């Protein structure tokens, strides 16, 4: 196998000189982190303020049947106190959160650490007055407004476990998550403004709560003042209560291994699973990676464009930056509203130094032309980041040349909801970058490339296989909420003794890593993970659908699009109306992010004689790649393939 020719971009001397970590420091610390992980992580954990110090650094078993991951297990701390209170002596007046609203004509807000403390304490007291106690679950379904951060930190303060549901999810998806963790309270807002439109969050919440226990209470934040239905006794008015709430709330003493949050994410089978992260290890890892990966220095203005509904928003808008006493920007809107220059307008307006976004946004903006970037003064930018999916070299080069003017290192950060923080990324002052490569493991991370069949480690360079991680790191997920067996089965059963990432990967001739995409039935649509099984089960829940198979296919902007093969019930006829109806159906069942791009009618699906759908073939057809269908001899009825090819929908 040969490595494709690739340009290499070393960091400028200026960047290297000022960086927290240069090449020599990276090499030394990386080596130390593997040689003596206990010593390395004990030192790193000093960045956290512990109530009671830990005596044991790590206690980990990856043995299938007995997977158990603990870090700093006898230490105690409070995450909110680490993100707020401990900064008050030196940073009370410093801006913690810059909030930029959807509408550029509405004023931005600058929330100081002092104000963050006040608002978080009040929210914590409100939650307590609603009966929330340590260990209880709170679901957060909010727009990108400061109250989302207050809510997260308020939960952390009282020891409640939050589960954020992205505001783009449907009522059905929301009720499943409220019920999945048996939440006591759902926090929402009247409406979520985005791109000049408004999502009726409270009515979605009302619809969801019809399918939840009657005891679930709803705390409603006023964002637009839009009209909402009010259920007395169930609904609580946040803005009213905040006027009365006490200004101080004592942070609860939490164990390092107490859960901090649950975050649902898609896998290759079944419904989304609740990934559980705990306090001490997660915060240590989020804070360290935030500082080192973005080379964050005191006084910098840092902006991650993700939504707090995804893990990137958890670790790199809220927990990591605030634990570091940073100024973090929170943006309510979308990249293309009011026009394709919005990101750059916001960078200029707030003098952003580190900017972190997703390849899908870069591709969408790239298509609009460089004029939208060139209008703005981006001279404060120092580091650019990407996350969520592999970045194609064309998008990388545009980001580098047009946005970064060739002066800002690009950190292509590979990680997952499960990993809590970055596992592989170049560091700005330490590594040359290559367009599309996640380059190097972070401190303490031991990536291995395995042969997918034998599971044996493939040594050396210029090799490809499945990506696993040897040994643990503090930010690793601990379990699947309510289903530890599923946790073990998903991540520790295929390749014994390793954490299996679900991604494929290549280690090039220089030993640098390239993520090649998922090797399971997870697709990545605009950087959002989607299980094909979830879309299939939504489709077959429709009365007209007998059977459905869903695969990903290459999509110019989204990275991957959703391609659905649908077999109708005998008494139903295909029609354009039915395509529209099914598309709307999936949006209602899951949310707009799961909206099918292509629906192809399939009188039959290619199956083995044992009835297993051969997705490999469906993927090839969706990709318009008919020449390499491979062996179809094991099919029960090979003629279905000819039909699918003949009728492949001319889209995508
Ligand atoms: C943080 C996040 C995780 C999956 C992951 C991989 C893909 C994320 C990537 C990347 C290539 C990168 N992914 N970052 N692929 N290069 N820099 O995105 O978490 O939503 O759980 O998705 O996303 O396939 O396995 P999550």
Q: If you measure from the C-alpha of residue 252 to the centroid of ligand 1, how many angstroms do you get, rounded to a whole number? A: 33
pLDDT in tens, 258-273: 999 999 998 877 789 9
Residues 107-111 have a mean pLDDT of 98
Task: Give CA–CA dist 446/462, Å, rounded.
Answer: 17
Task: Give CA–CA dist 330/146, Å, rounded.
Answer: 8
Q: How far out from the chain centre does Cα 71 lie?
A: 23
Q: If you measure from the C-alpha of residue 214 to the centroid of ligand 1, how many angstroms do you get, rounded to a whole number? A: 37
Contact 397, 374 (CB under 8 A): no
Strands (E), 436-510: 446-450, 463-470, 479-480, 499-507
Task: Give CA–CA dist 112/109, Å, rounded.
Answer: 10
Contact 323, 152 (CB under 8 A): no
Q: How many CB atoms lie within 10 A of CB 349?
A: 15
pLDDT in tens, 166-206: 999 999 999 999 999 999 999 999 999 999 999 999 999 99
Contact 448, 403 (CB under 8 A): no
Q: Is the pLDDT of residue 573 over 70?
A: yes
ipTM above 0.85, yes or no: yes
What phi-psi label fits residue 415: left (phi over 0), alpha (psi between -120 and 50 degrees) or beta?
beta
pLDDT in tens, 358-395: 999 999 999 898 999 999 999 999 999 999 999 999 99
Contact 100, 329 (CB under 8 A): yes
Q: Is the pLDDT of residue 138 over 70?
A: yes
The protein residue whose alpha carbon is closest to atom 15 in ligand 1 is 389
Contact 180, 212 (CB under 8 A): no
Give 650's pLDDT tier (boundaries 50, 70, 90): low
The protein residue whose alpha carbon is closest to atom 1 in ligand 1 is 416
Which of 146-150, 266-270, 493-497 comes out lowest in average pLDDT? 266-270
Task: Give CA–CA dist 309/318, Å, rounded.
Answer: 11
Q: If you measure from the C-alpha of residue 607 to the centroid of ligand 1, how many angstroms do you get, rounded to a whole number? A: 30
Rounded to the nearest 5 degrees, what angle is found at the Cα of 636, between the Cα atoms of 633 and 639?
Answer: 75
Buried b (16+ CB within 10 A) or exposed e, 454-475: ebeeeeeeebbbbbbbebbbbb
Among 164, 384, 414, which residue has the most ligand 1 atoms within 8 Å of its CB, making it the best to mutate?
A: 414
- Of ligand 1's listed atoms, the one at least distance from the Cα of 312 is 1
Residues 202-213 have a mean pLDDT of 98
Q: If you measure from the C-alpha of residue 502 to the centroid of ligand 1, how many angstroms do you get, rounded to a whole number? A: 10
């Amino acid at each position: 196998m040969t490595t494709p020719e690739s340009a290499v971009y070393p960091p400028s001397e200026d960047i290297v000189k000022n960086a927290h970590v240069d090449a020599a420091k990276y090499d030394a610390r990386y080596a130390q982190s593997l040689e003596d992980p206990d010593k390395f992580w004990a030192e790193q954990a000093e960045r956290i303020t512990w109530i009671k110090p830990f005596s044991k650094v790590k206690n980990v078993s990856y043995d299938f049947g007995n997977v158990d991951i603990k870090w700093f297990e006898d230490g105690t701390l409070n995450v909110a106190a680490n993100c707020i209170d401990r900064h008050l002596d030196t940073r009370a007046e410093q801006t913690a959160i810059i909030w930029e609203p959807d509408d550029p004509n509405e004023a931005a807000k600058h929330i100081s650490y002092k104000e963050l403390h006040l608002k978080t304490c009040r929210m914590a007291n409100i939650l307590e007055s609603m009966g929330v106690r340590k260990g209880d679950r709170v679901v957060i379904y909010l727009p990108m407004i400061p109250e989302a951060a207050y809510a997260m930190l308020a939960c952390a303060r009282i020891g409640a476990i939050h589960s954020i549901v992205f505001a783009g999810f449907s009522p059905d998806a929301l009720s499943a998550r409220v019920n999945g963790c048996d939440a006591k309270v759902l926090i929402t807002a009247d409406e979520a403004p985005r791109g000049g439109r408004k999502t009726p969050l409270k009515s979605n919440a009302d619809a969801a709560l019809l399918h939840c226990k009657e005891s679930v209470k709803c705390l409603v934040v006023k964002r637009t003042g839009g009209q909402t239905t009010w259920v007395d006794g169930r609904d609580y008015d946040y803005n009213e209560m905040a006027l009365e709430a006490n200004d101080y709330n004592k942070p609860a003493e939490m164990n390092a291994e107490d859960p901090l949050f649950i975050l649902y994410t898609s896998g290759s089978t079944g419904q989304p699973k609740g990934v559980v992260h705990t306090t001490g290890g997660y915060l240590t890892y989020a804070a360290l990676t935030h500082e080192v990966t973005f080379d964050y220095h005191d006084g910098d203005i840092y902006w991650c464009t993700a939504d707090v509904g995804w893990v990137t928003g958890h670790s790199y808008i809220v927990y990591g930056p605030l634990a570091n006493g940073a100024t973090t920007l929170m943006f309510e809107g979308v990249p293309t509203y009011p026009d394709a220059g919005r990101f750059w307008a916001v960078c200029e307006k707030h003098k952003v130094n580190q900017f972190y976004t997703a390849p899908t946004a870069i591709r969408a903006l790239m298509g609009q032309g460089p004029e939208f970037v060139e209008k703005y003064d981006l001279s404060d930018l120092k580091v650019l980041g990407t996350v969520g999916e592999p970045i194609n070299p064309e998008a990388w080069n545009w980001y580098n040349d047009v946005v970064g003017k060739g002066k800002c290192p690009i950190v292509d950060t590979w990680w997952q909801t499960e990993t809590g923080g970055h596992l592989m990324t170049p560091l700005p002052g330490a590594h040359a970058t290559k367009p599309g490569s996640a380059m190097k493991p972070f401190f303490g991370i031991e990536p291995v490339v395995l042969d997918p069949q034998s599971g044996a480690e493939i040594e050396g360079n210029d090799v490809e296989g499945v990506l696993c991680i040897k040994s643990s790191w503090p930010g690793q997920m601990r379990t699947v909420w309510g289903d530890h067996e599923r946790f073990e089965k998903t991540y520790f059963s295929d390749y014994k003794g390793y954490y299996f990432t679900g991604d494929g990967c290549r280690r090039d001739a220089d030993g640098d890593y390239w993520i090649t995409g998922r090797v399971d039935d997870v697709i990545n649509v605009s950087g959002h993970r989607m299980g094909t099984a979830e879309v299939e089960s939504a489709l077959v829940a429709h009365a007209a659908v007998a059977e459905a198979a869903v695969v990903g296919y290459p999509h110019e902007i989204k990275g991957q699009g959703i391609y659905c093969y649908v077999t109708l019930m005998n008494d139903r006829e295909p029609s354009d109306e039915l395509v529209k109806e099914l598309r709307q159906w999936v949006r209602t069942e899951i949310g707009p992010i799961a909206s099918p791009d292509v629906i192809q009618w399939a009188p039959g699906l290619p199956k083995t004689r044992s009835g297993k759908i051969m997705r490999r073939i469906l993927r090839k057809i969706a990709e318009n790649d008919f020449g390499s269908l491979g062996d179809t001899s094991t099919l029960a009825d090979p003629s279905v393939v000819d039909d699918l090819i003949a009728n492949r929908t001319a889209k995508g």
